[in-house]
Amino acid sequence: MKSSLLKVYESTQKRELPKHELEFGRTFTDHMFVMDFSESEGWHDAKIVPYEPLSIDPAAMVFHYGQSVFEGLKAYLSPQGEPLLFRPEKNIARLNKSNERLCIPAIDEEFLLDALKELIQIDQNWIPSANGTSLYIRPFIISTEPFLGVALSTQYKLIIILSPVGAYYKEGINPVKIAVENEYVRAVRGGTGEAKTGGNYASSLKAQEQAANGGYAQVLWLDGVEKKYIEEVGSMNVFFKIKDEVVTPELNGSILNGVTRDSVIQLLEYWGVNVIERKVTIEEIYEEYKKGNIDEVFGSGTATVISPVGQLDWNNYQMVFNNGETGNLVQKVYETLTGIQYGRLEDPFNWIEQVNVRRRVNKVG
Amino acid sequence: MKSSLLKVYESTQKRELPKHELEFGRTFTDHMFVMDFSESEGWHDAKIVPYEPLSIDPAAMVFHYGQSVFEGLKAYLSPQGEPLLFRPEKNIARLNKSNERLCIPAIDEEFLLDALKELIQIDQNWIPSANGTSLYIRPFIISTEPFLGVALSTQYKLIIILSPVGAYYKEGINPVKIAVENEYVRAVRGGTGEAKTGGNYASSLKAQEQAANGGYAQVLWLDGVEKKYIEEVGSMNVFFKIKDEVVTPELNGSILNGVTRDSVIQLLEYWGVNVIERKVTIEEIYEEYKKGNIDEVFGSGTATVISPVGQLDWNNYQMVFNNGETGNLVQKVYETLTGIQYGRLEDPFNWIEQVNVRRRVNKVG
Ligand SMILES: Cc1ncc(COP(=O)(O)O)c(C=O)c1O
Ligand SMILES: Cc1ncc(COP(=O)(O)O)c(C=O)c1O
């Protein structure tokens, strides 16, 4: 599929850019990207159109059998006012990995990256410029065949929508309080945990609701089999600084392979910090905590980038890390990552991708 | 919520009833039921409208985080041409159980049953009359708030659509070939297995695809923790006749509480058969099989009612039951259940519910 096949239908009614403080994920831009899949044509009819409601048959399989995947990444405005993407090829590759697990036909990764850039260019003035703000990018695929039967859909829609978002933390980063979840399970070996698919998130809501009622920001998920290995924290990967090492749960098929996680690992190694990906039990964390060996714990994910854990409650035990304050390493990781993302710092890893590259496009209408 | 609040907008263009042989889940009737939920109004604006595409924001949470539930039941035409429902209150109660797990606001069960009956009455001529055919009823709830964040939606839509369906087996029931699934997991303790929610089905597609490629009709699911306890077969509950007893996996939180399962248990007990709900390992089944103690195995579910298992493959072992033919007990259960469902046999359990009861309705338009 060639980029030249992308059709652009520009919106005639540009909406007003938001003036208020931006809440995460509530405001959307003027345009969206849409591409269809059918058995006879494969992925086809790629187009950028005005943001508008979808018209979908009530029997569309996504409503019933949840065959869907999504991604989440961001565009940042550089000091020069240029839009930058952070490792977008990783998200697009992960989309295809999710597709594989969910039996959704693979997409052409190069084409999708081009289409994504085109969409961002068209809605470029929607990228907010205030400190810590960015443009959240949400590609997703849904099964649209109108059929009531548990089977692979033969029709899909890939859509990309854009949402200008505020800083997750208004005054820099703030440590959060987390509860270890002992009852509910987010994902399990042999399940869909490694894929970004709706079911994992639907399944997490109940635990999250209970945690919120108990005054916690998120839950820490244990593995579904033995209920002792640490997997993730909320919708983030998790890191523990134990003495001079940083430990993070190894990718085991039920943990999401986070782009931020990978970037944190590379960054720490670049600094000469020993990072170990392995199995970690909650018991071990508690034992090390009691010995005074853990002073920094944090989550990593696109939305917050880095989120320090100030307190972790496990059954009747309360673990407070670094007096509930943001530690030095966490702070440094956060500032370096965001510095690279916004083009303020050097990018020794070649993570940053420019958006404004001229390409051939059929402008229609 | 009163039934009198149900508004009916009748379709002016009645579509043609299908003349061809009915495929399962592909044809839909003239009308559908729709009801909305908002935080301020609760469930409101219940109406029956012409069947039509939904207009849904691309940011609607169901597309991203899979917060959705559904049900499946059938209306049958009696010899007198009267539509009958089979234990519909069980499905509606289960919908609310699914709602609870998925943090979706509960619905008024009595009201929904009334609305369901009203919808069936309006599209009554869509209930097919050929042998073994019926009207499949699909209530489902989707989260519709346009918001990109893992959280509880504050807006939902409950919809009921109807699909005239053919006999699952053209010449009575036919034994199927099943493979035990060792790698993929459908659901796990602490997960959403007991709820009828899209994620469970999305997660099952990969295993089902592999099984189909291997010439199998379905997979037999093992528990996600120890991978040795039998849970379900495809989208059905499963029964094993071991010597003079019938054994079925006990409800453990990750198995769906099937209406057909419950009916089979009651029916067998009514006949004086010893039915035991307990943990069953695949190992035990194989051992009993080798001793010649298992001659009938079958799945139960609304779509097929009863589906005999002719062959079960576990690793390199092949188990063939009753020479791959439908056994006497399976046949008798199938005939009795369908006999009751179609109003041909006496209903000692009070399972059948009439549809045509006069109620007050605001006819609009
Ligand atoms: C379950 C889960 N884990 C981890 C992450 C972090 O991944 P990333 O760093 O790619 O945003 C996310 C968010 O994308 C997630 O949804
Ligand atoms: C996973 C699963 N198990 C079992 C069943 C059987 O349940 P019921 O007899 O209520 O149709 C179904 C179908 O509804 C199902 O989806």
pLDDT value, residue A365: 43
* pLDDT band at residue B57 under the 50/70/90 scheme: very high
Asked if residue B169 has pLDDT above 70, the reply is no
A vs B: CB pairs below 8 A: 215
* B340 is a domain residue: no
* A345 is a domain residue: no
Check A202 against B198: CB less than 8 A apart. yes
* A340 is a domain residue: no
CATH of the domain at B291: 3.20.10.10
Q: Which domain holds residue A110?
A: 5-170+352-364
- Closest residue to A65, CB basis, from B148, B185, B202: B202
Q: What is the pTM of this model?
A: 0.96
Measured between beta carbons, the chain A residues lying within 8 angstroms of B103 are 205-206, 209
Q: Within this chain, do residues A60 and A146 fall inside the same structural domain, yes or no?
A: yes
Alpha helix stretches (DSSP H) within B166-301:
198-213, 259-270, 282-290
Q: Within this chain, do residues B164 and B192 fall inside the same structural domain, yes or no?
A: no
Q: Within this chain, do residues B76 and B56 fall inside the same structural domain, yes or no?
A: yes
Give the best residue of A65, A209, A307 to mutate against chain B (max B CB count within 10 A). A65
Check A235 against B150: CB less than 8 A apart. yes
Task: Indicate if ligand 1 lies below 6 Å from the C-beta of A260.
Answer: yes
Q: Within this chain, do residues A299 and A360 fall inside the same structural domain, yes or no?
A: no
Higher pLDDT, B360 or B73: B73
* B346 is a domain residue: no
Question: Any idea what DSSP says for residue B46?
Answer: E
Q: Within this chain, do residues A50 and A140 fall inside the same structural domain, yes or no?
A: yes
Phi, psi dihedrals of residue B5, rounded to the nearest 5°: -85, -5
pLDDT tens-digit series, residues B215-239: 999 999 999 999 999 999 999 999 9
pLDDT value, residue A335: 96
Rounded distance, CA B230 to CA B235, Å?
13
pLDDT value, residue B283: 98
Q: What is the ipTM of this complex?
A: 0.95
Rounded distance, CA B291 to CA B319, Å?
12
Q: Within this chain, do residues B81 and B189 fall inside the same structural domain, yes or no?
A: no
Q: How many residues does chain B have?
A: 365
Q: Within this chain, do residues A114 and A218 fall inside the same structural domain, yes or no?
A: no
Q: What distance, in Å, lies between the first and last C-alpha atoms of chain B?
A: 22
β B176-180/B73-77 pair status: unpaired
Nearest to B144 by CA among B48, B50, B36: B36
CATH of the domain at A83: 3.30.470.10
Check A149 against B25: CB less than 8 A apart. yes
Asked if residue B360 has pLDDT above 50, the reply is no
Question: What's the average model confidence in pLDDT over B81-102?
Answer: 98
Q: Within this chain, do residues A180 and A214 fall inside the same structural domain, yes or no?
A: yes
* A335 is a domain residue: no
Q: Within this chain, do residues A115 and A165 fall inside the same structural domain, yes or no?
A: yes
Chain A 115-174, residues with CB within 8 Å of chain B CB atoms: 136, 138, 140, 142, 146-152, 159, 161, 163
Q: Within this chain, do residues B164 and B181 fall inside the same structural domain, yes or no?
A: no
Q: Is A65 exposed, middle or buried (0-12, 13-18, 19+ CB in 10 A)?
A: buried
Rounded to 10 deg, the angle between the B88-101 and B109-122 helix axes is: 130
3-state secondary structure of A87: coil
* B101 is a domain residue: yes
Nearest to A226 by CA among B190, B101, B192, B187: B190
3-state secondary structure of A61: helix
Ligand 1 site-directed mutation target among A91, A237, A307, most atoms within 8 Å of CB: A237
**Do B153 and B103 contact (CB within 8 A), yes or no?**
no
Per-residue pLDDT of chain A (365 residues; tens, 9 = 90+): 444 578 999 998 888 888 778 888 999 999 999 999 999 999 999 999 999 999 999 999 999 999 999 999 999 999 999 999 999 999 999 999 999 999 999 999 999 999 999 999 999 999 999 888 999 999 999 999 999 999 999 999 999 999 999 877 666 688 999 999 999 999 999 999 999 999 999 999 999 999 999 999 999 999 999 999 999 999 999 999 999 999 999 999 999 999 999 999 999 999 999 999 999 999 999 999 999 999 999 999 999 999 999 999 999 999 999 999 999 999 999 999 999 999 999 999 999 999 985 544 445 54
Phi, psi dihedrals of residue B97, rounded to the nearest 5°: -65, -45
Question: Any idea what DSSP says for residue A19?
Answer: -
Q: Within this chain, do residues B149 and B236 fall inside the same structural domain, yes or no?
A: no
Q: What does the buried/exposed string (b/e) look like for B2-35 if buried means 16 or more CB atoms within 10 Å of the residue's CB?
A: ebebbebeebeeeeeeeeeebebbbbbbbbbbbb
Nearest to A73 by CA among A104, A44, A113: A113
Task: Indicate if ligand 1 lies below 6 Å from the C-beta of A301.
Answer: yes
Rounded distance, CA A151 to CA A110, Å?
29
Measured between beta carbons, the chain A residues lying within 8 angstroms of B24 are 148-149
Question: Any idea what DSSP says for residue B60?
Answer: B
pLDDT value, residue B365: 42
Domain count, chain B: 2
Rounded to 10 deg, the angle between the A198-213 and B198-213 helix axes is: 150
* pLDDT band at residue B184 under the 50/70/90 scheme: very high
Neighbours of A129 (CB within 10 A): 11
pLDDT value, residue B19: 75
Chain A 15-44, residues with CB within 8 Å of chain B CB atoms: 24-26, 28, 32
- Closest residue to B199, CB basis, from A66, A103, A140: A66
Q: Within this chain, do residues A161 and A182 fall inside the same structural domain, yes or no?
A: no
Share of chain B above pLDDT 70, in %: 95
Task: Indicate if ligand 1 lies below 6 Å from the C-beta of A234.
Answer: no
* A332 is a domain residue: no
- Nearest-atom number in ligand 1 for the CA of A90 is 10
Tell me, in angstroms, the distance from the centre of ligand 2 to residue A151's CA: 15
Measured between beta carbons, the chain A residues lying within 8 angstroms of B208 are 150-151
Distance from CA of A189 to the nearest CA of B (A): 7
* B343 is a domain residue: no
Question: Any idea what DSSP says for residue A229?
Answer: B
β B274-278/B245-249 pair status: parallel
Asked if residue B361 has pLDDT above 60, the reply is no
